[in-house]
Structure 1
Amino acid sequence: MQVAGITTPQEVFVASRDRKFRINELLVIDDPHQGPLIGEVVEANSYNRFIPLSIEHAFSDAHVLESLKSLGYSIDEDEINIAKVKLMSEASYPVTTGSYVHLPGFAEVKGFLIKGSREEGLLLGEIKNTEETARSMDEDLKGLFYIYSAGKLDKTKNVPFILDLRSFQQYPHIGIFGGSGSGKSFGMRVILEELAKHNIPTVILDPHYEMDFSESQEDIPKAGNFKKAFSKFQIGEHIGVEFLNLSKRDLLALLSAVSPLSEAMSSAVEVLHRRGDTYLSFSSRLDDLAQALEMGRSKIDNALRQDMEPSERERFRRMRELLEDYQNIPLPSVQGIAWRLRRLYSSGLFSHDIKPVKEAMMQGKLAVIQGPIWLLQVFSTYMLSNIYRQRRDYKDSELKGQIQGDYFPPFVIATDEAHNFAPKGRETATKGIITEIAQEGRKYGVFLVLATQRPTLLDETVTAQLNTKIIFRTVRGSDIATITEETDIKAEEARRLPYLPSGDAFVSSPLFGRTVAIRVRFPYTRSPHTQNPIDEIKNHRASSEEKLLSLISQHLPIYAANFARAVEDINRDSEEKYEVRTLKETLDALVEKGRLKKQPSPLGDIYM
């Protein structure tokens, strides 16, 4: 392999008769004047006598052609492989044409490929097209995980891609971008598994109910058990918000997460909410004020002149006091606040607190928060603000030498569908806290892992703070444009984004100083959503069929003349209630499948 054509300090063309080049592989150029230079293949082509090498080809030029002839290549006879190579570090001056090129040993490029130890890093996958280099790799870096490719599961033969945990302090946040079916969710699962292995406290907002780590992959020997590494919480069932501890700011955030508050509503909440309020006391105050505003002072006074129960009289007195104190608050504002509050209450949000989440975090677990997207937005507004403030207060007091309260650890916040929590161009309740963490979280050891199919819809301030970006297959032009703006991904790689196989990704990180092509490792745990829908239909039908056969077998043979009695007996034991017609159709279907026999008789068919 030799350098051909006119060169620059940044890129060269390398030609070979015998070896085909692969995108993203590393080569060492032995420049006689500058010493070894490391470069990465960004384009690769092969030419032979059946496809003449055009001197006007955009990839190469007349200088490359003339250089190849001077180096002894037969343009008309030889197959010629040409690679466009970008140097990892700019050379002092243009590379010498004719310089020999060789594949690197691991020691020559270790500094470019490995940026952390396997003990203190996240093993996310393999660096593509590094098999030859990996042969001379340290033994403790070989075969660390499994890769699923071309329908097969094999141990990795490439150099592992390790994201150094300690680099989070300098480059704190991770963005995961990719369309449906690109492997984005598996990439998120792999990152979370690695965080769990290191006992990093992590809060996961899971709108798809898929972040369950209890089932290990059967195909991977020694996959490990993650059952004790995570805790799963349903909003309203296991966790919620303790109303008594809500500040005015927290309550405003919760109510606005249900539906945006008008200025009049916000002012009303500020005035009406009192320290020490329970849900019952605050909701009663709203209901009494709404009724008082609707009745008016004169009707309330008239009612108080009438004979009534003491409890009812006390209620009207409260209404009169509220009307005197808050008569300037518009009735629609009070009704709007009450409606939002009732919706929160009906979701079960005020039935519990976030203590279980904090306990899981203190144990270094993954705390998986599940619920509908709207409820996740409501709850996470309160929860993220609470735990972030607790961590920030602890760290600030530590720096001042005035530690108050118990230790609260650094932690990671991870979510899919991140554009719903921090959307571009509109305000949501969660956007404020996520933006604040994106900008300031590094100082306090709070980090984000945000995944989305639509990076264009994610708030630009948040996107800019995602230092490490993992980019899977992306098809939309607007999303690709956003990615190229926000990363150091090259034009050649951007053109490949719509065609990346599922599980392949580009990683853009300041830690590496370049875009790295990787394949994500096979996860150790299985998502509950991995079953093919067609298989699900077939399995359900087979299961239902077996259940039905088991039920019917107790009543066989069934005579057509006695169907009504058979339906009555079967319905007594069955959850599904049959009629004579539907039972006959079911039995005929089982006969067609060969599971039952139907025999004609003078008194009608007999099913046996």
Structure 2
Amino acid sequence: MQVVGITTQQEVYVASRERKFRINEILVVEDPALNFPRGEVVETMSYNRLIPMGTDKSLVDSQVIQALQQIGYDIGSDEINLAKVRLYEEAPHPIGTGCSVRLPDFEEVRDLLVTTAPDEGMLLGEIRGTESLAESLSEDLRDQVVLMEQGDLRRQQGVPFVFDVKAMQQYPHVGIFGGSGSGKSFGLRVMLEELMKLRIPTLVFDPHFEMDFSERVPELADRGPSFAERFISVQIGQHVGISFSDLTTRDITELLGASGGHLTDSMANVVQTLHRRKDSFTSFSDRLNNLIQAMEEGKEGLKRQLNKPDLTPTDAARVNDMLRLLDEYGSLPLSSVKGIHWRLNRLEKAGLFHHDIRAIERGMEQGKLVVVQGSTWILQVFATYVIGALYRKRREYKDARMNGEEGRFFPPFVIVTDEAHNFAPKAVDSPAKSILKEIAQEGRKYGVFLFLATQRPTLLDETITAQLNTKFVFRTVRGTDIATLREETDLTAEEGKRLPYLRSGDTFVSSAVFGRTIFIRIRCAYTRSPHLANPFDELKQMAGERDEKMLKTISGLLPLFDTDLVQTVAHVNRECGCQWDVTRLKQELDRLAGEGRLKKVETPFATRYDKC
């Protein structure tokens, strides 16, 4: 392998007759004057005598062709393999044309590929283009990951990619970007497994109900720890919620704003006016409800109620309370009071005020991964409160230590969410966005970090995107998203062109930790998603089970005449849990007969269904 053509301080062209180059592989240029610079193959091509050498602006131009001829290549008959190599460090002067190029040993490039030991970092996959380093790989890095290729499991063939989680102290926060089917959610699952392996407290917001780590992949049962005891899953309204009496007026304003859009100044004023410290949900809700009724009845209407002869003492006390509320708060707009009451009831019906966050706090203190599940809108509301509450606990502890006080320990932790653009949208106010922006900008000082995944990086708040020092970029097709990623990372023009064609599970890692972009394949996850089953297989399975149950139900009634269907449909509905009428039952019997599972006989008087 030799350097050919015009060289610069950043890039060289390398040619070879015998060896085809691999994209992203590392080469060493034997130029002693520059201390043997190292570079990465960013573009590669092969030419032979059947393909004419053009002089367009592709990888090969006229200067490269001329250089090939001068050093002995037969352009007309040789197959020539060419590679554009980008140097890792800019050279002080151009590399000499004609210098030999060779493959390195692992120890020569270890500092470029591995920054921490596998048991100290997140073991996420295999670095593409490092297959030639496998033989010289150190023992601690051999056989660390298993990958999925073309539907089959295979062992590691190159250098494992180990993300140094401790480096987040200096380069915080991670973004995971990719379109549908790109492997983004799969990659996020692998990252969560690694966080559990390291016992890093993690809070995950799961709008898709897929982050369950109970079921292991049988073929990988011997790899990784048991995750069943390292995570807990809680649902909003069933296991966790918000203790209303612990909320401040500001907390309630933010929660109500998250539940149905931004609050108007008038609605915010209603909350500030009516809420009292240590209010329970019942006391605050009753105050709103009584004020609404008082404003609708009016002072005269309430006084008429007091004059009723059959008025009980309890009702009289309630009417007097409504009169007092009307005198004190009657100037508030009725529509705003009703709006606050409606939003409050919406949150209560979702179960948000039925529990507290102690289960989450306990899981975090035990170093577990806590998965919070719920619909997208209720997750946004809940995240506004719980992220702020946990962040304040961690911040208060760190601030106390800085002031020489003891403080109650709360561990550093990671916040993870899929569909992050719903929590922190660009150019749109969102209650959760303010706390996420604060953590993105200041969380590093307190040991709180973000892992944010989204299909649409263009829709994610720009301030937050700019603070994501490591970005995993999976297959992305939309031009606007590619342009955003190009602006936010050091992806080259060649890598940007490859983004729409990446295989599922392949990703570019643009990281300040490494100082450059690395192309990797995510390892196979040790656990399975509950949504892994193909929906069409599920449809076929359920239809088959339904047919078998129906045939078993009517087997004792055969032969069956269509004059008997009224009695039969009641029996089928009771045994099979259906809600069919006679017409539907006859359609199902005709279908089964058409499939050869029943015999249908037409007679002059009736239709008979019997066993085949």
TM range (shorter): over 0.9
How much has 1:79 moved relative to structure 2? 1.1
CA distance in 2, matches of 1:64, 1:329: 80
Map Cα deviations across residues 63-104 of structure 1 (whole Å, 9 max, x no partner). 322221221111112111111111001112111111100011
Tell me if 1:354 matches 2:357: yes
Amino acid at match of 2:170: Q
The 10-residue stretch of structure 1 (580-589 or 318-327) with the greater mean CA deviation from structure 2: 580-589
Amino acid at match of 1:446: V
Conservation of the 8 A alpha-carbon contact between 1:587 and 1:607 = no
SS in 1 for 2:589: helix
The 10-residue stretch of structure 1 (455-464 or 164-173) with the greater mean CA deviation from structure 2: 164-173
CA distance in 1, matches of 2:374, 2:241: 11
Q: Which of 581, 584, 590 is 1:582 aligned to?
A: 584
Map Cα deviations across residues 323-344 of structure 1 (whole Å, 9 max, x no partner). 2222332111111111111111
State the match for 1:152 in structure 2: 152
State the match for 1:431 in structure 2: 433
Amino acid at match of 1:385: G
Task: Give the unaligned 5+ runs of structure 2.
Answer: none
Q: Which of 410, 413, 418 is 2:412 aligned to?
A: 410
Map Cα deviations across residues 378-431 of structure 1 (whole Å, 9 max, x no partner). 111111111111111111111212123x32111111011000000001101111
How much has 1:567 moved relative to structure 2? 3.6
CA gap 1:402/1:215 in 2 versus in 1, 3 angstroms: same
State the match for 2:276 in structure 1: 274
CA distance in 2, matches of 1:214, 1:527: 9
**TM-score with structure 2 setting the length:** 0.96
Conservation of the 8 A alpha-carbon contact between 2:572 and 2:578 = no
Amino acid at match of 2:92: S
How much has 1:262 moved relative to structure 2? 0.6
The 10-residue stretch of structure 1 (455-464 or 596-605) with the greater mean CA deviation from structure 2: 596-605
Taking the TM superposition and a 5 Å limit, the aligned residue runs for 1:230-309 are 230-259=231-260, 260-307=262-309, 308-309=311-312
Conservation of the 8 A alpha-carbon contact between 2:221 and 2:526 = no
Taking the TM superposition and a 5 Å limit, the aligned residue runs for 1:187-206 are 187-206=187-206
Conservation of the 8 A alpha-carbon contact between 2:598 and 2:609 = no
SS in 2 for 1:296: helix
State the match for 2:366 in structure 1: 363
How much has 1:161 moved relative to structure 2? 0.6
The 10-residue stretch of structure 1 (55-64 or 372-381) with the greater mean CA deviation from structure 2: 55-64
SS in 2 for 1:93: coil
CA gap 1:50/1:538 in 2 versus in 1, 3 angstroms: same
State the match for 1:516 in structure 2: 518
SS in 2 for 1:244: helix
Conservation of the 8 A alpha-carbon contact between 2:243 and 2:355 = yes
State the match for 1:317 in structure 2: 320
State the match for 1:174 in structure 2: 174
**TM-score with structure 1 setting the length:** 0.96
Conservation of the 8 A alpha-carbon contact between 2:550 and 2:572 = no
How much has 1:159 moved relative to structure 2? 0.7
CA gap 1:494/1:606 in 2 versus in 1, 3 angstroms: closer
State the match for 1:86 in structure 2: 86
Taking the TM superposition and a 5 Å limit, the aligned residue runs for 1:27-46 are 27-46=27-46
The 10-residue stretch of structure 1 (32-41 or 462-471) with the greater mean CA deviation from structure 2: 32-41
How much has 1:293 moved relative to structure 2? 2.5
How much has 1:606 moved relative to structure 2? 4.4
CA distance in 1, matches of 2:330, 2:567: 70
How much has 1:532 moved relative to structure 2? 1.6
State the match for 1:345 in structure 2: 348
CA distance in 1, matches of 2:56, 2:240: 67
CA distance in 2, matches of 1:606, 1:299: 71
The 10-residue stretch of structure 1 (63-72 or 110-119) with the greater mean CA deviation from structure 2: 63-72
Count of residue correspondences: 607
CA distance in 1, matches of 2:286, 2:203: 34
Amino acid at match of 2:463: T
CA gap 1:328/1:564 in 2 versus in 1, 3 angstroms: closer
Conservation of the 8 A alpha-carbon contact between 1:7 and 1:97 = yes
SS in 1 for 2:67: helix
Conservation of the 8 A alpha-carbon contact between 2:558 and 2:609 = no
Taking the TM superposition and a 5 Å limit, the aligned residue runs for 1:129-144 are 129-144=129-144
Task: Give the unaligned 5+ runs of structure 1.
Answer: none
How much has 1:173 moved relative to structure 2? 0.4
CA gap 1:490/1:261 in 2 versus in 1, 3 angstroms: same
Map Cα deviations across residues 473-518 of structure 1 (whole Å, 9 max, x no partner). 1111111111011111111101111111111110000111111001
SS in 1 for 2:530: coil
Conservation of the 8 A alpha-carbon contact between 2:126 and 2:145 = no
Tell me if 1:396 matches 2:399: yes
Conservation of the 8 A alpha-carbon contact between 1:32 and 1:96 = no
Conservation of the 8 A alpha-carbon contact between 1:47 and 1:53 = yes
State the match for 2:536 in structure 1: 534
The 10-residue stretch of structure 1 (24-33 or 461-470) with the greater mean CA deviation from structure 2: 24-33
How much has 1:603 moved relative to structure 2? 7.0
How much has 1:301 moved relative to structure 2? 3.6
How much has 1:535 moved relative to structure 2? 1.1
CA distance in 1, matches of 2:259, 2:586: 50
SS in 2 for 1:288: helix
CA gap 1:586/1:298 in 2 versus in 1, 3 angstroms: closer
Amino acid at match of 1:517: F
CA distance in 1, matches of 2:573, 2:10: 79
The 10-residue stretch of structure 1 (102-111 or 312-321) with the greater mean CA deviation from structure 2: 312-321
SS in 2 for 1:349: coil
CA root-mean-square deviation: 1.7
